[in-house]
Amino acid sequence: MSPEPGPGTRLDPWFGSYAKRTDGLKVSETRALFAVANRPEVVSLAGGMPFLDALPMDLIAKITSELINTEGTVALQYGSGQGHPLMREKITEVMAEEFITAHPDDVVVTTGSQQALDLVTRVFVDPGDVILAESPSYVGALSVFKSYEAWIEHVAMDADGLVPAALEETIARLKAEGRRIKFLYTIPCYHNPAGVTLTVPRRAEVLEICRREGILVVEDNPYGLLGFDGQVTPAIRSLDADGVIYLGSFSKTMAPGYRTGWALAPHAVREKLVLASEATILCPSQASQLSIAAYLDNFDWRGQIDVYRGVYRERCQTMLAALAEHMPECDWTVPEGGFYTWVTVPEGINTKTMLPRATTALVAYVSGVAFYADGQGGRQMRLSFCYPTPDRIREGVRRLAGVLSKEMELVNLFGPHTEGLAPDVQNPAPDIA
Ligand code: PMP
């Protein structure tokens, strides 16, 4: 059937038919890059892919084949919308590492924590509602928030994470404007993209402010166990069971291919999340859940996390040393874990317009603009050290330094490059009663 003539265009006959909530959807900065960044000649400091070569593949193959041989009809069948009881039990053991006490009944297994983000937003956010998010914040979360037509309000962060005074001021201003704040979205450990960690005293302060103001905290913590020194900072959820929804994931501590994450939510919220999840996916993959449960049972998974920590620690040190050697005119954060450092380039350079020249020089990064809802970030970029080997990291930073110095020459000759840089502003919030 061909569409009625009228609202469409020659390029997209359904142009006029899309729901309004798709207005905020656009190709992510990371996706647009992926095709180029994945070519072998390019050193990609762009993607956040875990280094899976560090996994015991032979053991995982054995566990998987045993699972299918012994429990194939369960593993390959539909399952519970909330997730397999065994998986939920195991998830509470993993969260205990972050000092969280929880009951398996309050865990909802999801298709990666990305789906948990979707469910939480779906359950809480109406168009125009405000979500507070760090400045900058995770690009994948911003996409979810935009797809539900939320208004994203960034809150300042520094080397110690979210700034409590800025949080207080932002809440007061928004409340005075009559805006409805639905939750604070925070990535407290080894932030994506900023690389910083919310200090312990600040965790208590942030929680205290949110409690006082009646604002839910959504704690997204996929990197929490990946501190380079093996220390684990108690999760915000460990301080408050009623005011925090905690999101976790096996993507970084094991492997993203299983697409398994979870939400731990106060009882009543949990019920809504399960209903929303059933309406979306019926149930998460049983095969993935049972494979992960078997892995956790049969393998020293804590030891494996230590292996990952060692790999990422070395790569982070390599990257920071290379930045100090080749890009001293820039500033960067010093991560204590996770995958990323956040680099600020000299004034006049725009990391978005520079990107094509970087890829031509066979190095890729993600421009800072991807991590803001309001067009900031032109002087920043996210560099990932998780995937390339130390040699490739050194080479990538060397190439990037070459691109930067040429860019500086251009800026000195012609002034800052602003062409084509229309600010990326959000949809205006609808009138709020
Ligand atoms: N939150 C953050 C902060 C992330 O960095 C990521 C992945 N990059 C996710 C959520 C989603 O992870 P997954 O869906 O693989 O669990």
State the CB neighbour count (10 A cutoff) for residue 210: 23
pLDDT tens profile 289-326: 999 999 999 899 999 999 999 999 999 999 999 999 99
92 lines ligand 1 (CB under 6 A): no
Window from 185-189, 316-320, 418-422 with minimum mean pLDDT? 418-422
- Measured in angstroms, how far is the CA atom of residue 113 from the centroid of ligand 1? 6
Give the pLDDT confidence score for residue 341 in this predicted structure.
98
| Confidence category of residue 422, pLDDT binned at 50, 70, 90 | low
226: its two tokens: 């990946």
396 lines ligand 1 (CB under 6 A): no
| Confidence category of residue 29, pLDDT binned at 50, 70, 90 | low
Pairing type for strands 107-111 and 260-264 reads: antiparallel
CA-nearest of 2, 23, 24, 22 to 14 is 2
Q: Can you say how many angstroms the Cα of residue 48 is from the centroid of all Cα atoms in its chain?
A: 9
Q: pTM value?
A: 0.93
Give the pLDDT confidence score for residue 416 in this predicted structure.
81
136 lines ligand 1 (CB under 6 A): no
Distance CA(343)–CA(363), nearest Å, equals: 15
Residue whose pair of structure tokens reads 């291919």 in the numeric block: 257
Mean pLDDT over residues 189-210, rounded?
A: 98
- Measured in angstroms, how far is the CA atom of residue 360 from the centroid of ligand 1? 29
Window from 15-24, 339-348, 380-389 with minimum mean pLDDT? 15-24
Residue whose pair of structure tokens reads 């909802």 in the numeric block: 108
256 lines ligand 1 (CB under 6 A): yes
- Measured in angstroms, how far is the CA atom of residue 76 from the centroid of ligand 1? 25
pLDDT tens profile 31-67: 666 677 778 899 999 989 999 999 999 999 999 999 9
Q: Which atom of ligand 1 is nearest to the CA of 117?
A: 10
Contacts with 106 (C-beta within 8 Å, 6 or more apart), sequence order: 264, 265, 266, 267, 270
Give the pLDDT confidence score for residue 424 in this predicted structure.
52
- If you average pLDDT over every residue of the chain, what do you get? 93
CA-nearest of 196, 216, 222 to 95 is 222
State the CB neighbour count (10 A cutoff) for residue 5: 7
**What is the residue with the minimal CA distance to atom 13 of ligand 1?**
112
- Measured in angstroms, how far is the CA atom of residue 308 from the centroid of ligand 1? 17
Mean pLDDT over residues 250-258, rounded?
A: 97
Contacts with 417 (C-beta within 8 Å, 6 or more apart), sequence order: 348, 349, 350, 353, 354, 407, 410, 411
Q: Determine what percent of the chain is predicted with pLDDT higher than 70.
A: 92
What is the sign, positive or negative, of the torsion defined by CA atoms of 281, 283, 289, 291?
Answer: negative
| Confidence category of residue 11, pLDDT binned at 50, 70, 90 | confident
Distance CA(40)–CA(34), nearest Å, equals: 12
Residue whose pair of structure tokens reads 């002034």 in the numeric block: 415
Sheet strand arrangement including 380-384: 331-332, 340-344, 380-384, 366-367
Q: Which atom of ligand 1 is nearest to the CA of 138?
A: 3
Mean pLDDT over residues 156-184, rounded?
A: 98
Mean pLDDT over residues 399-403, rounded?
A: 98
CA distances from 422 to 143, 348, 368, 425 (A): 19, 16, 15, 9
What is the signed CA dihedral for 150, 156, 162, 166, rounded to 10 degrees? -90
Q: Which of 34, 52, 108, 138 to mutate to test the pocket of ligand 1 (most atoms within 8 A of CB)?
A: 138
Q: Which of 30, 94, 114, 288 to mutate to test the pocket of ligand 1 (most atoms within 8 A of CB)?
A: 114
Give the pLDDT confidence score for residue 229 in this predicted structure.
96
Q: How big is the CA angle at 42 (ends 38 and 44), to the nearest 5 degrees?
A: 65
